[in-house]
Structure 1
Amino acid sequence: MTIRPTSKSALLAAAAALVAAAATPAAAADFGANAHRDRHVLLISIDGLHAGDLSTWAALHPGSALAKLARRGTTYTDARSSQPSDSFPGILALTTGGTPKTTGVYYDDSYDRKLSPAGSACKTVGTEVVFDEAVDVNSGALDAGGGIDPAKLPLDPAKGCTPVYPHSFLRTNTVFEVAQQAGLTTAWADKHPAYDLLNGPSGKGVQDAYNPEIAATDGTVAGTIAYDALKVAGVKNQIDGRDHTGTKAQPVPAVFGLNFQAVSVAQKTAGYAPKGAFSPEIAEALARTDAAIGSLTAELRAKGLEKRTEIVLTAKHGQSPVDRSKLKIVDKKLLGSVVDGVKPGLLAQATADDVALLWLTDGKQAEAVAAALRAHAAELNIDKVLVGPALVKQFGNPATDSRTPDVIVLPKAGTVYTKPTATKVAEHGGFTADDTHVALLVAGPGGEGEKVTGRVDTTQVAPTILKFLGLDPKALAAVRAEGTKVLPDVR
């Protein structure tokens, strides 16, 4: 039966019926000998939360949970998320220390020139790769009908035409894998079963995963607040020494956490008030999220864990535009028309929100496509087109990497590529400040409120987590490849 809970009680009742098995921790690896087994990191992503949102909320509500964390933590006022600022590269920045150039993951809807479409028996090569609710057994059910349907996954011709799960699509390891291999317990809660991604290439990183399907809700702010409450309840159980269902004893995870969706939904459906003030919908989403975070910190305190837990509060991505007057909807079909105008059938895949990633059937036509896009810059509201050396420098060479887009379109701030009839008033994925200038607050044991105004990146969260746990940040492949540094001024 399809489950579409629209109230908190309905969601909680549905969640009570879900039971997930937690894997047995692996034996401690040699590099985990110095692990601080009495320490914990609680990672929280308030999806869509800008740095300005955090500072404004704390100023308006000095007694709030977020304000209290800021007074005992370090706030990074110029933190930048991944580019593209999609949820997948956003969460991977936080948990691998790497960018798409290293992780190979550009979006939850991307393309791979070496994989084959689901159900194709590998008779063709080159396919769109979608890792969202589309791969659920039943996206209308909170438990996704049992999780991921392997028949909906892309296939790998190089590995016997076997299905490619999200975790095996990822090229680099995660903080969950490093912690788990050191004999520490790990957990995470997110919005789709496709967050299997965070298990990493081993497939074993997250021992207690809880990924209820957000597509099963009614899409309203109220429904999303109730949905977020499910994950909060699961994390409270973990703080209490049980798995997320509350039915099985397990150690309090060394690294665990969740994302909140209500703020993001409010930004998309209602938007901000004039001059970037909080609309009633965003204010309600923030208030309920703040209260939920307060309940988590209270639970840590009640269990005597507050002084042994580092809380990292940030966002996978921002949301654009904050200023509603800058919103401009552009028909995404125009992108395909311009590309195929260069050569029929040239567009292999276009992933478009407030950015456009373009993969071509003939990469040698990339410069011609870029020229055609620039010629239509006015109707497509284009600010910049990345192609050739500029693209290669940031993302690698599409001629040698099967995942790298051939062309990336960066529209003017406020542009959203979607259906002309779309009602959403904001989106993410792009490279603008509204997309990427996110909140980042680290509140650790014994910290004092301070601000770091220098530029930092959310990729720096991953090595910082490992450092706090007494693990080697260089155990992360992306940290080694990209030279990612630990956040400054973290005790």
Structure 2
Amino acid sequence: MLKKWVLLLLCTLFTLSACSNPAPKKQGLNSAPKNVSYKVNRTPHQAVKRVLLISVDGLHESDLASYVKKHPHSSLSALSNHGITYTNASATRPSDSFPGLSAMITGGSPNATGVVYDDSYDRKLLPPLAKKAGDKPGTEVLYDETIDKDLNKINGGGGINPAMLPRDPVTKQPVYPHNYLRVNTIFEVVKAAGKHTAWADKHLAYDLVKGPSGKGVNDLYTPEIVANGDASKSIFATEKNDDLKVTAIQNEIRGRDHTGLKPANVPALFGMNFQAVSVAQKLPGNGYADSKDKFSKGLAHAMNHTDQSIGKIVNELKKNNLYHSTLIIVSAKHGQSPMDPAKLRITDEKLITQGVSGSLVAQLTADDVAYIWLTDQSKTVSVVNAIKKNKGKANIQDVYSYQTSRSNWFFNNPADDSRIPDIVVKPKYGVIYTKPGKKIAEHGGINKDDTHVAMLVSFAGMKKSKQITSSVYTAEIAPTILRVLGLNPRSLKAVRMETTPVLPGIGQ
């Protein structure tokens, strides 16, 4: 029944030859058609020519549902009236921004992309020159504002400081974020097809989206969010940083580059992240007013501002007669936890490894989860046992490793992959490893609040809204984008590696 429903929906949404001559049932991505032209019945002579991808960082499925219900005249409501809402969408594990976006643009989990976190570890890379740690393999890999030449400037001081980057063990050259990615991106595939691409995000480290070639994005705009007093600590300032990116998108829709100063092709693939909702969820005095998704004043303001900003982008598409040929995807790199403020428990991350020799811990990254890389992997089991003794005082629910919890292990074997942590510490729900008064929510973990994100695919030619309740993953966005642009999803290495499907209801 589901397959018949999907085919019926496809024929309703799109006019393509496969509807009159369906492919055999069990072909999947291995037989993904090349150069398919998708045409919407409402505008039969106008194909889907571009995709706008928007990540509202922190946006849960329940946030979207609640907002649309309470604001029937909002921009998000208007998009949902002509779209498919996926009510059971999951982000990556870990639910950090870096692997979250990587999934959306590659179709792969951290096992395929090699991107585990924005603050991680690699056993093979050499330390940054700035750390003066010599050429011994094994280093923290930190891709955040600290790699800017000057993080106090919106343009990051003019670029990334190579002395702050990990280095290749053979060439000794700096490894930029885009070099770090193990698989290609949708931007590279779309650009290789002769189309224009653009993206806007919160740090210069989102050089990541260029892909391993370093050439996937024609127009990358990364206004540093921590500049001018650190916008990430103020909802209002974060909204202003989001505004910069919205203006960039508007300029690109008008056929200019992100500055508005140079002529450029309208991108076939472009988009941005919104950060204000995430900041409003995390800042003390804001977040959720209760456990039933009631927004605080600050979070409500951030939601309204983001909705209005999306409205500005949609209106710009309409002004330039591009709205009916643009597919719009709204999702989130990650959620945020806890949504229930009564469950919040601030805990010192030092309690996790209390009793473990400091020389054994190569890297500990902790938010509302903890990932641990060891200097001696043969000691993994003994370290796990030591951490389990700290369960009570460190508010730990479970401790996982490849050796001790293989049935719950969602990573590659760390013995075979230099980037995979040796141990994952899952705290009790509501626990954040941070200092008191610093934040009231965080992401990076693996519980429902971290991973259950919004996903909406909207197209003007869809006359009725739909809801799909089956489980989907944000990684499915990447092959879906290529499919609707008439490109082969299997052009993505991660899609081939992990057999990532196209979203149900779209191009199947």
Same fold (TM over 0.5): yes
- 1:126-145 equivalent positions in 2, closer than 5 A: 126-145=138-157
The runs of 5 or more residues in structure 2 that have no matched partner are 1-32, 39-46
Tell me the SS of whatever aligns to 2:356: helix
2:123 aligned with 1:106, yes or no? no
Residue in structure 1 matched with residue 312 of structure 2 by the alignment: 295
Residue in structure 1 matched with residue 55 of structure 2 by the alignment: 45
Residues 168 and 122 of structure 1, relative CA distance in 2, 3 Å threshold:
farther
The separation in 2 between residues aligned to 1:251 and 1:323, in whole angstroms, is: 45
2:191 aligned with 1:180, yes or no? yes
2:452 aligned with 1:449, yes or no? no
2:361 aligned with 1:375, yes or no? no
Residues 338 and 46 of structure 1, relative CA distance in 2, 3 Å threshold:
farther
2:258 aligned with 1:244, yes or no? yes
How many percent identity over aligned positions?
51
Residue in structure 1 matched with residue 93 of structure 2 by the alignment: 83
Structure 1 residue 394 displacement after superposition: 2.2
Query: What one-letter code is carried by the residue in structure 1 that aligns with 2:323?
Result: E
The separation in 1 between residues aligned to 2:145 and 2:37, in whole angstroms, is: 36
Contact 1:32 1:183 in 2 (8 A): no
Residue in structure 2 matched with residue 440 of structure 1 by the alignment: 455
Structure 1 residue 335 displacement after superposition: 2.4
Residue in structure 1 matched with residue 16 of structure 2 by the alignment: none
Contact 2:401 2:422 in 1 (8 A): yes
Residue in structure 1 matched with residue 484 of structure 2 by the alignment: 468
Query: What one-letter code is carried by the residue in structure 2 that aligns with 1:388?
Result: Y
Tell me the SS of whatever aligns to 1:180: helix
Count of residue correspondences: 456
Residue in structure 1 matched with residue 378 of structure 2 by the alignment: 364
1:318 to 311, 330, 335: 335
Query: What one-letter code is carried by the residue in structure 1 that aligns with 2:334?
Result: H
The runs of 5 or more residues in structure 1 that have no matched partner are 1-30
- 1:119-268 equivalent positions in 2, closer than 5 A: 119=129, 120=132, 122-158=134-170, 160-216=171-227, 217-218=230-231, 219-268=233-282
Tell me the SS of whatever aligns to 1:434: helix
Query: What one-letter code is carried by the residue in structure 2 that aligns with 1:167?
Result: H
1:117 to 111, 115, 127: 127
Query: What one-letter code is carried by the residue in structure 2 that aligns with 1:163?
Result: P
Query: What one-letter code is carried by the residue in structure 1 that aligns with 2:212?
Result: P
Give the TM-score taking structure 1 as reference length: 0.90
The separation in 2 between residues aligned to 1:335 and 1:385, in whole angstroms, is: 10
2:402 aligned with 1:402, yes or no? no
Structure 1 residue 116 displacement after superposition: 1.1
Query: What one-letter code is carried by the residue in structure 2 that aligns with 1:443?
Result: S
CA RMSD of aligned residues (A): 1.6
The separation in 1 between residues aligned to 2:446 and 2:332, in whole angstroms, is: 15
Contact 1:74 1:490 in 2 (8 A): no
Residues 99 and 339 of structure 1, relative CA distance in 2, 3 Å threshold:
farther
Tell me the SS of whatever aligns to 2:128: coil
2:427 aligned with 1:416, yes or no? no
Residues 32 and 236 of structure 1, relative CA distance in 2, 3 Å threshold:
farther
Residues 84 and 69 of structure 1, relative CA distance in 2, 3 Å threshold:
same
Structure 1 residue 374 displacement after superposition: 1.5
Residues 196 and 32 of structure 1, relative CA distance in 2, 3 Å threshold:
farther
Residues 121 and 33 of structure 1, relative CA distance in 2, 3 Å threshold:
farther
Tell me the SS of whatever aligns to 1:148: coil
Residues 326 and 252 of structure 1, relative CA distance in 2, 3 Å threshold:
same
The separation in 1 between residues aligned to 2:128 and 2:138, in whole angstroms, is: 11
Residues 121 and 406 of structure 1, relative CA distance in 2, 3 Å threshold:
closer
Structure 1 residue 121 displacement after superposition: 7.6
